[in-house]
Amino acid sequence: MKIQFSKQSFDDLDEIEDYLLNKWNDKVLEDFNLKLDHCIKLIIDGVVVFQKYEDTVYHKVLITKHNTMIYSLNEDTLTVHRILQNFQDPDENYKSVTT
């Protein structure tokens, strides 16, 4: 299965990386990346299909208690649309992937 990251998801990852390195350390960033990789592996292996936003093609998965990944899935591609910080406004998060 192919994995694609949207431009916005790369921007999200940059922000998260900067935050973790500035406020914490390399180990915390490494832990975050391992958890993200684990979530992606669960999805592409077909082990789990996570919660779906109502009436959309988007799913969401809690990576850590602080971060959620928004993704869509078709037969051969997992597309990561956003990686959000959970303290952000959920309505704004939803709008950011549907517009």
Task: Identify the bridge partners of residue 64 per DSSP, sorted by sequence position.
Answer: 67
Contact between 97 and 58 under an 8 Å Cβ cutoff? The reply is yes
pTM: 0.86
Express each pLDDT in 11-21 by its tens digit: 999 999 999 99
**More reliable by pLDDT, 13 or 93:** 13
The CA-atom distances, in angstroms, between 68 and each of 45, 75, 76, 90 are 19, 23, 22, 11
Number of domains in the chain: 1
Residue with tokens 């490494």: 30
Q: What is the pLDDT of residue 98?
A: 65
Range(s) of the domain holding residue 76: 2-96
Q: What is the pLDDT of residue 47?
A: 81
Q: What is the pLDDT of residue 88?
A: 64
Provide the CATH number for the domain around residue 29.
3.30.2310.20
Task: Identify the bridge partners of residue 79 per DSSP, sorted by sequence position.
Answer: 4, 72
Express each pLDDT in 18-68 by its tens digit: 999 999 999 999 999 999 999 999 999 988 878 888 789 999 999 999 999
Q: Output phi, psi for 51, to 5 deg.
A: -50, 140
